[in-house]
Amino acid sequence: MKTTINQAAKYLNQEVTLGVWLANKRSSGKIAFLQLRDGTGFIQGIVVKKNVSDEIFQLAKFVSQESSLYVRGTIVEDTRSPFGYEIQVENIELIHKSLDYPITPKEHGTEFLMDHRHLWLRSKKQHAIMKIRNQIIQATYQFFKQEGFMKIDPPILTGSAAEGTTELFHTKYFEEEAYLSQSGQLYMEAAAMALGRVFSFGPTFRAEKSKTRRHLIEFWMIEPEMAFVTHEESLEIQENYVQFIIESVIEHCELELNTLNRDIQTLKKIKAPFPRITYDKAVEMLKEKGLEDLQWGEDFGAPHETAIAENFDQPVFITHYPKNIKAFYMKPDPERDDVVLCADLIAPEGYGEIIGGSARIDDLALLEQRYQEHQLSEEAYGWYLDLRKYGSVPHAGFGLGLERTVAWISGVEHVRETIPFPRLLNRLYP
């Protein structure tokens, strides 16, 4: 029976054939231990000299790392391994012999591994991170389906900027100038006016000259947008969504979290509602912690976010930022004109902002005033004003950065390991 490693439990004490690669091995005179992987998981293959032909035992002993094989054998329990099963090998068929695989079991430097990202993805750690990423994506679709959202795909080539003009990737669109999307939000607002509650999931691009553990040039964002929803109601949806994806990862990826040495108890404690503090309060907290350099009206940097997060064991919403450091579309606080109805969700353990969201300006005259202040042209943004001309409604939305969320939940230091092929300041290869 041909099957895959993740199905092993179903074939206990039965003979199966697995298509695999050799991840690692060790052997003595009488027995060879093969670490096998097939993409669905990792399993140990035991080859006992007296149970197989000389030819097969020689193959098991000398097969090179990352050679591809068909392995036939019996699935048995293995209480010592976290996976729980191993395969007692009866036959091995070499499909392709790999020569001089560059990533050996010894330690390699990050740059070397990044240059070999196309191969590094095969490692146990990278496999675990990709499984968790996939689980978060699955949980996202499940959550928004259950909450009555429709998936909508905004364009990637655009004629206008959503998050400020300094970080745009420019490209030619025949005779016109175009940009790669920084955020689908403006289009998602149009979609919310057509379909009520919508979410997008797609790549976004920021030509940011940042070289930090939290910044990618190309990253994936989940952007829900909701008609007739207030800022407060949006925060509730955000915290429920984050709790949902964490529960889903704990339920389906325990093995992978263990592979990554992620403390599952810490994750289990994450429960909505999350604490909320205002920007004003956050500035006060920073002063108390001795981070006096930050003046009211300035944006937080990574050290500020980390310092604030240290006060909580949950993610924390920082709300009501000064309007001057936030995007043009954010709705002012009706009580106070100098701050906006927005929130950034800061993850614990130094992972920083994972969500940015806000209520959107729904008043036509006010939005027109912002166009003046931000010098936004009617030519590029005229359509966005239309949403305030024809049945404008209060609405809110947010964007969750997938890679930062994967990094936090997986406990991985740097976002470069949370996307299959990271685009970084100095990296477009492979």
- Footprint of ligand 4AD on this chain (CB under 6 A)? 162-163, 183, 185, 206, 208, 215-216, 219, 221, 223, 353-357, 397-399, 401, 403-404, 415
Q: How far is the CB of 362 from Mg ion (least distance, A)?
A: 21
Give the nearer residue to ligand 4AD in terms of CB position, either 77 or 298: 298
Give the nearer residue to Mg ion in terms of CB position, either 184 or 356: 356
| Contacts (Cβ under 8 Å, ≥6 apart) of 207 | 167, 168, 169, 217
183 binds, among Mg ion, ligand 4AD, none (CB under 5 to 8 A by kind): ligand 4AD
CB atoms within 10 A of CB 365: 8
Give the nearer residue to Mg ion in terms of CB position, either 143 or 321: 321
162 binds, among Mg ion, ligand 4AD, none (CB under 5 to 8 A by kind): ligand 4AD
Q: How far is the CB of 242 from Mg ion (least distance, A)?
A: 16
Could you check whether the bond before residue 273 is cis, i.e. omega within 30 degrees of 0?
Answer: yes
Q: How far is the CB of 429 from ligand 4AD (least distance, A)?
A: 19
Among residues 52, 124, 148, 139, which one has the least CA distance to residue 92?
Answer: 52
398 binds, among Mg ion, ligand 4AD, none (CB under 5 to 8 A by kind): ligand 4AD
Give the nearer residue to ligand 4AD in terms of CB position, either 65 or 182: 182
The stretches of 18-76 forming alpha helices (DSSP H) are 54-62
223 binds, among ligand 4AD, Mg ion, none (CB under 5 to 8 A by kind): ligand 4AD
Give the nearer residue to ligand 4AD in terms of CB position, either 42 or 199: 199
Give the nearer residue to ligand 4AD in terms of CB position, either 38 or 344: 344
Q: How far is the CB of 398 from ligand 4AD (least distance, A)?
A: 5
Classify residue 6 by its DSSP letter.
G
Q: How far is the CB of 356 from Mg ion (least distance, A)?
A: 3
| Contacts (Cβ under 8 Å, ≥6 apart) of 176 | 159
Look-up of token digits 């996976």: 83
Q: How far is the CB of 208 from ligand 4AD (least distance, A)?
A: 5
CB atoms within 10 A of CB 418: 27
72 binds, among Mg ion, ligand 4AD, none (CB under 5 to 8 A by kind): none
Q: How far is the CB of 335 from ligand 4AD (least distance, A)?
A: 22
Please classify residue 148 by burial: count the beta carbons closer than 10 Å to its beta carbon, then call 0-12 exposed, 13-18 middle and 19+ buried: exposed
Length of the chain: 430
Look-up of token digits 């959107």: 360
Task: With residue 130 as reference, give the H or E element that holds it.
Answer: helix 124-146
Binding-site ranges for Mg ion (CB under 5 A) = 356
CB atoms within 10 A of CB 392: 16
Q: How far is the CB of 201 from Mg ion (least distance, A)?
A: 18
Among residues 399, 398, 400, 392, which one has the least CA distance to residue 227?
Answer: 392
Give the nearer residue to ligand 4AD in terms of CB position, either 39 or 202: 202
Give the nearer residue to ligand 4AD in terms of CB position, either 86 or 189: 189
Q: Measure the CA–CA gap between 69 and 93, rounded to whole angstroms.
A: 6
Residue with CB nearest Mg ion? 356
Rounded to 5 degrees, φ, ψ at 371 are: -60, -40
